[in-house]
Amino acid sequence: MYAQMVKTDADKVKALQEMTPEERAFQERVDRGEKIEPKDWMPEGYRRTLIRQIGQHAHSEIVGQLPEGNWITRAPTLERKAILLAKVQDEAGHGLYLYCAAETLGVTRDELTERLLSGRMKYSSIFNYPTLTWADIGAVGWLVDGAAIMNQVPLQRTSFGPYSRAMIRICKEESFHQRQGFDIMMKLARGTEAQKRMAQDALDRFWYPSLMMFGPSDKDSVHSAQSMSWKIKINTNDELRQKFVDQTVPQAEYLGLTIPDPELTWNEAKGGYDFSQPDWSEFFEVLAGNGPCNADRMEARTRAWEEGAWFRDGLMAHAKKAAARRAAARHAAE
């Protein structure tokens, strides 16, 4: 999940009869499956939670370009390089769709960027892991985009119109991402012994961080309950994680790779796999800024923002001057 542990300001989910008339009318619209649009009345908590969630999602798309961008110049063939470029460009596009959706809630793009750079807003924990080999690019597409799709497909039905529309567009583009990753893994898994080892090593390192993407169990979380009643979260973290494992294990078997979990077994009764939880203390360390690449990622974002300032300002100054010139020419002609 690209948005992890999003807080809602709620200390409990209100029952319909405890709500103000406006809140009740809003909740009933959500319950009926109506889309909420930016100018419609909405509870302040809904607005603030969505800004946090969509913002975090957008930041993840943008920061997510960094681990993959790392391999663009070293892709093994020209075709792989063109594919990776297209994928990373898509991630930029996805970030932009999402920032625009967040902005309809009354926050500016610059505010969102500043909140990321000051550490007040987060991005997904997964992008704080390094991409050490080419096989990692395969694992990222297959596992990380696979996990993201798990979460994004249901979010197409989210109650907030602009978020839902962004998700529909993103999902349409995202399945290429997962397939190109699996394609890389297939090539390596059918290659030399050394290539096969490389693929296994990438799976070993990305398996648990991918499971962490869904966030810790939230079956008792008031924030998740509130988000689910607002339909800005559709499934619990455990449901999505289970679905992801059930989908991915047969794919790993197809590749002839081993999921790095000795406890992994098929559970006939529940119709899914039993599996080990990731190390949640590692997850909280990464969220707190102590993952292997947190400092690098933030430094890259800060540098891009600061070193791009003259360019953003320059284009704006040029646009203003050109508009003034046009106005003067019109004035002279009249």
Partner 1 sequence: MSSEWPLWEVFIRGQHGLNHRHVGSLHAPDAEMAIKHARDVYTRRNEGVSIWVVPSAAIAASSPSDKGPLFEPANSKVYRHPTFYDIPDDVGHM
Residue 161 sits in the site that holds partner 1 (CB under 8 A): no
Q: Which of 9, 22, 34, 40 binds partner 1 (CB under 8 A)?
A: 40
Residue 110 sits in the site that holds partner 1 (CB under 8 A): yes
Residue 96 sits in the site that holds partner 1 (CB under 8 A): yes
Q: Which of 269, 271, 245, 270 is nearest to 259 (CA)?
A: 245
Q: Which of 58, 59, 50, 53 is nearest to 160 (CA)?
A: 50
Q: Using alpha carbons only, what angle is made at residue 91 by residues 80 and 251, rounded to the nearest 5 degrees?
A: 60
How many whole angstroms separate alpha carbon 308 and alpha carbon 16?
Answer: 49
Q: Which of 13, 100, 149, 171 binds partner 1 (CB under 8 A)?
A: 100
Nearer to partner 1, 132 or 309 (CB): 309
Residue 324 sits in the site that holds partner 1 (CB under 8 A): no
Structure tokens at 18: 């405890």
How many whole angstroms separate alpha carbon 297 and alpha carbon 67?
Answer: 9
The stretch near partner 1 (CB under 8 A) out of 33-41, 71-79, 229-237, 244-252 is: 33-41
How many whole angstroms separate alpha carbon 76 and alpha carbon 69?
Answer: 14
Residue 34 sits in the site that holds partner 1 (CB under 8 A): no
Q: Which of 157, 219, 270, 318 binds partner 1 (CB under 8 A)?
A: 318
DSSP annotation of 273 reads E
Q: How far is CA 178 from CA 4, 79, 155, 173, 182, in A?
A: 21, 17, 18, 10, 6
Q: How far is the CB of 41 from partner 1 (least distance, A)?
A: 8
Residue 303 sits in the site that holds partner 1 (CB under 8 A): no
Binding site for partner 1 (CB under 8 A): 37, 39-41, 86, 89-90, 93, 96-97, 100, 103, 108-110, 165-166, 169, 173, 309, 312-313, 315-316, 318-319, 322-323
